[in-house]
Structure 1
Amino acid sequence: MKKHSIILLLTCMVSFPLLAQKNLEQVLMDIESNNKTLQAQLQSLEARKLAFKSDIRLYNPNIEYDFLKGQPFSVGNQTDILVNQAFDFPTAYSRKKELASGQSTQAELDFLSGRQGILLEAKQTMFSLIYRYKLQQQIEERKAATEKLLQDFEKKLSTGDGNILDVNKAKLQLIEINKDYQLNTAQINQLLQHLSGLNGGLDISFTATHYPDELSLPRFEELFEEMKSLDPMWRFYELESSTAKKQVEVMKAMALPKLEAGYRYQGILGATFQGFHVGTTIPLWENKYRVRQKEAELSFAGLQRVDYQNDRYYWLKQKYEQYEKLASTLQEYREVLGTLNSIAYLDKALVLGHISTIEYFMESNYFYMAYTNYLQTENEYYQVMAELLRFRL
């Protein structure tokens, strides 16, 4: 491999064309529009919001008609008509309206969290593809260099200047490289298929070979405060306590008497009677344990909120520490690899006969292994950063 090839690879590590960045963002936009899970969740969101609204409506009006035929016929017939409307105690409706509003907001936050999860999965899949594309570029260059060496060894063997051992070593090395090439190609195809699945089954083209521009993450405390303000589930669990409290208030309001009012008509013995109808239902048994149940749920919601917040804090702390370690290791790799020219030196040493073929392949494999480890570290770095910034999606 020539010196300029190594320099080109290392330059690609730290640069990012604007076109590739737009490509990544465009893919995320396409997936957000085409993802079937998101489409289903959006329909479910609308259904849930309508269900919450339905709980604050009045009961259906009641109409009764009775026709009673008299015996003997001389007493005449009796006709009764009743039209009435039942409703809860007036304070219950304001409580229900507040509860429905809170539940709708929670449903929206739940949807946003699911959306972020799918977009994060898509973003990490694209980062994995970038890693595989970069690895494929390295394997192809190794493959081309080894094929050239094999041709040179075979040519020397045909003229009597070479030996069969060098030819066999080059063939074995080429077999290993071809195996890595096929495995990496299969991984690329699987990742592209997964990306298409996230895109609603529609084929999607993503060929970027560079990561987005590196973002300078704020200090942990600042990032934690940003997460608290943007994470949908953080707000979801904060609202959960408020919603549970409103449910207690609704149950207490529902424990008050229900009322009904309407119009009654009665016709009997040639006379008619008509006027207002009023009534009440006293809830002695129906809601006996409902208030206590909602109070228990309120206590549970408070504990659940604290548990989630603690979990998110320590999760973010662990990920942030992992990010810092990966950033340090990645910088060390870049500094060392940026100054190396191992392959060029090995090519020259092999031509001059200063090293054997087996030494050449051992040293070149060591360099490529280090470069592959660098690519893996780089990918882990961006994967962790994507997780840390999930709430910005």
Structure 2
Amino acid sequence: MKNSIILFLVTMSFGLGYAQSNIDNVLTEIAKNNKSIQANTNYWNAQKVQYKTGNSLYNPTVEYDYLKGSPAEAGNQTDIIVTQSFDFPTVYGKKNQLANQLGIQADLQLKAANQELLLEAKKICIELVYRNKLQVPLTKRKEATEKWLAHFKKKLTTGDGTILDVNKAEIQLLEIRKQFQDNASAIAKLNEQLTSLNGGIAIRLTDVGYFETPVIADFDTFVKEVEAQDYIRKTLEQEKVIAQKQIEVSKALALPKMEVGYHYQGILGQTYNGIHTGVALPLWESKNTVKLQKAKMTFAESALNDHSNLYYYEIKQTYDRYESLKSILSEYEKINKSVEPIQLLDKALSAGQISVLEYFVELNYYNDSQNSYLEIEKEYYDVIATLLKHKL
């Protein structure tokens, strides 16, 4: 009988079917209420306005000179000059193009930051679902142990039990109550973290089911999909575009600046007026600016290559872990679920076929196995969340 019980303990199983969760609803609320997301949105919107600033004409200049002549008969001289300076005309088009590309980069950086925050929130939800699921068997274990402790105490008063059995049950109950309280505290803390991420608006997740998992393609197909939607990669690619535009702007700024205006001169009762023009020769001001922007372009290319290499192997490791966990959980699904090990243990103990010590040893073995499964299951969904970050 004991061997049969041990065999059933080894072959216990847990299902993988869950009701639809509210994790997506929680993420929707956080995306709407999170203070960091709101602050980031305002910051990058301000940056886009700033990128458009400074591409207008320079302020016009008005000069007035009144020169008193000496001797007196020399007469006085009056000069009025109104000028408008401007860069070479192609500069303004290049600057607008650069501002547009910087605006695109700002949107990418905002999306990347929001994506990381939502992934953090999703992982908290996964941990919370795991804790909620764990609380179910912990509650059952606590209630069952309390029942057995009362039973052993009753037997002790009638002379049919021993103090050792009571002590074993009390020690077992003490450990289970500790696990129960620790898990309840973890649930409360995780819900508080969700509330914090939700901008201080109270939010709770009581689900004991994770999210529905989409079909994940083979690695070669999947990695192309992820890389195509990787906002960090897109940001680095945008850095290259921006560096190229900055080179074009630097070259345009190296062209002569010009000014036009009106010049009035009055002297000895005579007046002169006409057009004022000028050219600023870019001999020193723009020195090395093109070389600097080319260096930035080289750095952007290196950063993109480095990210692509590291990100590829990061995805590969995560994908390999996903397949490993998927295989482990699939094995659990194949195991016969028809027998409840705890019921067998209870019957065996009630019939006197095993001792109290043997009962709690086998029970702890089963509980540890159940806990391990729940941890593996949690990691499985955590890995999926990481793989599917690009969909947030």
Q: TM-score, normalised by structure 2?
A: 0.93
Matched, 1:343 2:342: yes
Q: What amino acid is aligned across from residue 210 of structure 1 in structure 2?
A: G
Residue of structure 2 in register with 1:16 after alignment: 18
Residue 141 of structure 2 corresponds to 142
Identity in percent: 45
Looking at structure 1, the residues matched to 235 and 334 of structure 2 have their Cα atoms a distance apart, in angstroms, of 44
Q: Deviations over 1:198-231 (max 9, x none)?
A: 1112221211111012222111111112112222
Q: Is the Cα–Cα contact under 8 Å of residues 13 and 335 in structure 2 kept in the other structure?
A: no
> What are the within-5 Å matches in structure 2 for residues 40-119 of structure 1?
40-119=39-118
CA–CA distance in 1 between the matches of 2:30 and 2:76?
72
Residue 303 of structure 2 is matched in structure 1 by 304
SS at match of 1:14: coil
Q: Is the 8 A contact 1:55 1:96 kept in 2?
A: no
Please tell me the residue identity of whatever aligns with 1:59.
Y
Deviation at 1:56, TM superposition (A): 2.3
Instruction: Report what 2:196 is aligned to.
Output: 197
User: Which position in structure 2 is the counterpart of 1:260?
Assistant: 259
Conserved? CA contact 1:248–1:291, under 8 Å? yes
The answer (yes or no) to whether the contact 1:15–1:213 under 8 Å persists in 2 is no
Are the counterparts in 1 of residues 23 and 210 from structure 2 also a CA contact under 8 Å?
no
User: 1:197, CA displacement in angstroms?
Assistant: 1.5
Once residues 301 and 272 of structure 2 are traced to their aligned partners in structure 1, the CA distance between those partners, rounded to angstroms, is 57
* Count of residues paired in the alignment: 382
The 8 Å contact of residues 241 and 302 in structure 1, kept in 2 or not, is answered as: yes
Pairing 1:207-218 to 2, within 5 Å after superposition: 207-218=206-217
Given that residues 98 and 246 in structure 1 are in contact (C-alpha distance below 8 angstroms), is that contact kept between their aligned partners in structure 2? yes
Residue 375 (structure 2) aligns with: 376
Amino acid at match of 1:247: Q
Other structure's SS at 2:272 match: strand
- Amino acid of the structure 1 residue aligned with 2:51: F
Distance in 2, matches of 1:260 and 1:338, equals: 87
How has the CA–CA distance of structure 1 residues 57 and 157 changed in structure 2, closer, same or farther, with 3 Å as cutoff?
A: same
Determine whether 1:25 maps to 2:27.
no
Distance 1:137 1:66 in 2: 90
1:326 alignment partner in structure 2 = 325
Which residue is equivalent to 2:166? 167
In structure 1, what is the equivalent of residue 155 of structure 2? 156
AA aligned opposite 1:164: I
Which amino acid is the alignment partner of residue 349 of structure 2? Answer: L
CA drift of 1:267 comes to 2.4
Instruction: State the shift of 1:43 in Å.
Output: 1.2
In the alignment, which residue of structure 1 is the partner of 2:183?
Answer: 184
Deviates more, 1:27-36 or 1:316-325: 27-36
Residue identity in the other structure for 1:175: L
| 1:354 matched residue in structure 2 | 353
Is the alpha carbon distance of 1:144 and 1:291 closer, same or farther for their aligned partners in structure 2, counting shifts above 3 Å?
Answer: same
| Aligned-CA RMSD value | 1.8
User: Shift of the alpha carbon at 1:333?
Assistant: 2.7
Q: Name whichever of 345-354 and 230-239 sits farther off.
A: 230-239
C-alpha spacing 1:339/1:65, structure 2 compared with 1 (3 Å): farther
**Structure 2 unaligned spans of 5+:** 1-8
Deviations 1:211-261 (A, max 9, x none): 012222111111112112222122222222121111111111111111111
Q: Which has the higher contact order (CA 8 A, sep 6+)?
A: 2
How many Å separate the matches in 1 of 2:336 and 2:45?
54
1:3 match: none
Match of 2:4 in 1: none
Moved more, 98-107 or 62-71: 62-71
> Please, which moves more after superposition, 259-268 or 365-374?
259-268
Deviation track 1:64-93 (CA, whole Å, cap 9, x = no partner) reads 233334445554443322221111111112
Q: Counterpart of 1:79 in structure 2: which amino acid?
A: T
After TM superposition, give the deviation of residue 328 of structure 1 in Å: 0.8
